[in-house]
């Protein structure tokens, strides 16, 4: 009989925590999961899933307009925020139930409540203590709002999906993919939308051509972009509106201010620092290649350990960890060429190196690029364009980066990611027969380098 109640105690029922718990239980381990908010974590509840549903909703305004050119009579469709909000909540609740059932059916003990680590083999929840051989911290990340006057008046991605009223005017603050996505969502839903970013161009880390192209396309869709703009204070007015003051003295009046200025590791109150668990300077948990912290019975994975903060990465890490716990062997994860999508409008899909990253790495690159109006808009007349780009290593003809802005970019880039993992060369792309007429075929018909 083991001296511990559990072989593995997972703190956090997000994507990584649930996958690790299920796989460990299937391997015969006695597993518990503690969760104090909702099943499925950020992705299911206030991240990927609701965000994508809201992106779908925001696209209908243009679809209704474009339909007229295809013979459909526009009879004045109206948007109702409450309907979207409630249907989204119902879907999230359904998924919460699925996650809870997955854990129960796997034989995992689910404990509702905020957990803290008392010692390397003890977890406490609501006054009850549980002994465990190993502890896995999978608590994800949390929105960060800077300390500015009036911060109590802002919302984050945690609250935005459940706001009581739809804002007629909204300011989104931030320059990452979350900020860019929400700016597109609210513009598409009909709000006067402003995006504030403290630097000269958003989406830092993405290919420069992608960044400038998205900037131009968002401008066409009515998003008012404020670059080199720093919010200094937010003041609530008598009528309930918010007066936003910038550091340069400029002011803006809106109904809602949404902050999307980054996320921090969700470890407050866990007790990790008390136990001497090493953290990085940004507050994320430091782990080795086996996801083990410096306290050998405590592991961590997913967003709480830092970049890349992506659901599929957390799932892969969970499976690698369980395999390691079973076999004692290192199960390496290849973090290179992880595909990424940004669900702005139009979408971004990217995998591999940007042109700038490749050049900075000393790779002699050849660049192929194509920009065009999508076929559907040759009839609708909408001024929206698509951009596709290949970054090729001239030494061996390998494609080291694939980038796209356009409809369904994420769907298309997933296939490109397989090609890069397989080591595809530009010749491989050239020898591949395209599907006509599609946008995706452009990736296999680009023949003339632009740089």
Query: Is pLDDT above 80 for 250?
Result: yes
pLDDT for position 307: 82
**What length does the chain have?**
451
Q: What is d(CA 231, CA 148) in angstroms, rounded to the nearest whole number?
A: 8
Q: What is d(CA 448, CA 388) in angstroms, rounded to the nearest whole number?
A: 13
Average pLDDT over residues 235-256: 97
Write out pLDDT tens, residues 158-180: 999 999 999 999 999 999 999 99
**Of 240, 261, 282, which residue sits at a domain end?**
261
Asked whether residue 449 is domain-assigned, the answer is no
Average pLDDT over residues 326-345: 93
Domain identity same for 12 and 136: yes
138 contact partners, CB below 8 Å, separation of at least 6? 10, 11, 12, 14, 16, 17, 20, 300, 301, 302, 304, 314, 318
Domain identity same for 307 and 405: no
Domain identity same for 241 and 280: no
Asked whether residue 333 is domain-assigned, the answer is no
Asked, as a colleague might, if the bond just before 339 is cis with ω within 30 of 0, I would say no
Average pLDDT over residues 410-427: 97
Write out pLDDT tens, residues 378-390: 999 999 999 999 9
Query: Is pLDDT above 90 for 331?
Result: no
Asked whether residue 334 is domain-assigned, the answer is no
Asked whether residue 190 is domain-assigned, the answer is yes
Q: Report yes or no: 401 and 390 within 8 Å, Cβ to Cβ.
A: yes
What phi and psi values does residue 409 have, to the nearest 5 degrees? -60, -40
Q: Looking up tokens 């669900």, which residue turns up?
A: 343
Average pLDDT over the chain reads 97
Domain identity same for 268 and 129: yes
pTM: 0.96
Average pLDDT over residues 281-296: 97
Domain residues for 435? 340-444
**Of 261, 284, 315, which residue sits at a domain end?**
261
Q: Count of domains in the chain?
A: 3
Asked whether residue 335 is domain-assigned, the answer is no
Query: Is pLDDT above 50 for 1?
Result: no
Asked whether residue 13 is domain-assigned, the answer is yes
pLDDT for position 77: 86
Q: What is d(CA 233, CA 150) in angstroms, rounded to the nearest whole number?
A: 6
**Which member of 121, 280, 377, 436 is catalytic?**
436
Active site annotation includes 377: no
Domain identity same for 287 and 257: no
Q: What is the CA radius of gyration of the chain?
A: 24
Percent of the chain at pLDDT > 90 equals 97
Write out pLDDT tens, residues 71-118: 998 777 899 999 999 999 999 999 999 999 999 999 999 999 999 999
Domain identity same for 67 and 121: yes
Asked whether residue 252 is domain-assigned, the answer is yes
CATH number, domain at 73? 3.50.50.60
Domain identity same for 300 and 384: no
Q: Report yes or no: 19 and 42 within 8 Å, Cβ to Cβ.
A: no
Asked whether residue 318 is domain-assigned, the answer is yes
Domain identity same for 124 and 162: no
105 contact partners, CB below 8 Å, separation of at least 6? none
Query: Is pLDDT above 50 for 445?
Result: yes
Q: Name the DSSP class of 294.
A: S
Domain identity same for 176 and 320: no
Write out pLDDT tens, residues 202-233: 999 999 999 999 999 999 999 999 999 999 99
Domain identity same for 232 and 128: no
Domain identity same for 437 and 369: yes
Query: Is pLDDT above 50 for 320?
Result: yes
CATH number, domain at 431? 3.30.390.30
Token pair for residue 373? 């109006």
**Of 233, 261, 289, which residue sits at a domain end?**
261
Q: Report yes or no: 167 and 254 within 8 Å, Cβ to Cβ.
A: yes
* Burial class, 107, CB count within 10 angstroms (exposed 0-12 / middle 13-18 / buried 19+): middle
Domain identity same for 171 and 257: yes
Name which residue leads in pLDDT, 3 or 427: 427
């Amino acid at each position: 009989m083991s001296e511990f109640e559990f072989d593995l105690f997972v703190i956090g029922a997000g994507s990584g925590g649930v996958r690790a718990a299920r796989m460990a239980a299937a391997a015969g381990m006695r597993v518990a999961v503690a969760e104090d908010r909702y099943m499925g974590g950020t992705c299911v509840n206030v991240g990927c899933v609701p965000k994508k549903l809201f992106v779908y909703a925001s696209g209908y305004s243009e679809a209704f307009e474009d339909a007229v050119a295809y013979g459909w009579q526009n009879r004045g469709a109206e948007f109702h925020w409450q309907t979207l909000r409630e249907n989204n909540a119902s879907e999230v609740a359904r998924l919460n139930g699925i996650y809870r059932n997955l854990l129960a059916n796997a034989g995992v003990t689910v404990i509702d409540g905020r957990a803290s680590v008392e010692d390397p083999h003890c977890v406490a929840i609501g006054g009850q203590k549980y002994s465990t051989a190993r502890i896995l911290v999978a608590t994800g990340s949390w929105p960060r709002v800077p300390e500015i006057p009036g911060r109590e008046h802002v919302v984050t991605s945690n609250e935005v999906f459940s706001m009581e009223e739809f804002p007629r005017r909204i300011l989104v603050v931030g320059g990452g993919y979350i900020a860019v996505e929400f700016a597109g969502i609210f513009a598409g839903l009909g709000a006067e939308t402003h995006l504030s970013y403290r630097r000269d161009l958003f989406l830092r880390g993405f290919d420069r051509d992608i960044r400038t192209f998205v900037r131009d396309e968002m401008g066409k869709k009515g998003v008012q972009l404020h670059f080199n703009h720093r919010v200094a204070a937010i003041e609530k007015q008598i009528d309930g509106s918010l007066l936003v003051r910038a550091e340069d003295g400029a002011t803006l009046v809106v109904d809602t201010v949404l902050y999307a200025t980054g996320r921090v590791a969700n470890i407050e109150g866990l007790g990790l620092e008390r136990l001497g668990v090493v953290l990085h300077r940004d507050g994320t948990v430091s782990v080795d290649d086996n996801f083990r912290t410096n306290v050998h019975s405590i592991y961590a994975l997913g967003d709480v350990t830092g970049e890349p903060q992506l659901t599929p990465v957390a799932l892969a890490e969970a499976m690698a960890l369980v395999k390691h716990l079973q076999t004692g062997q290192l199960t390496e994860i290849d973090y290179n060429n992880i595909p990424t999508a940004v669900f702005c409008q139009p979408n971004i899909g990217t995998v591999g190196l940007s042109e700038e990253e490749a050049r900075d790495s000393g790779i002699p690159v050849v660049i192929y690029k194509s920009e065009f109006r999508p076929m559907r808009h040759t009839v609708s007349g909408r001024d929206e364009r698509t951009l596709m780009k290949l970054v090729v290593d001239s030494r061996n003809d390998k494609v080291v980066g694939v980038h796209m802005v356009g409809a369904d970019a994420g769907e298309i880039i997933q296939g490109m990611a397989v090609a890069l993992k397989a080591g595809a060369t530009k010749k491989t792309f050239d020898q591949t027969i395209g599907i006509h007429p599609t946008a995706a075929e452009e990736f296999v018909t680009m023949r003339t380098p632009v740089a």
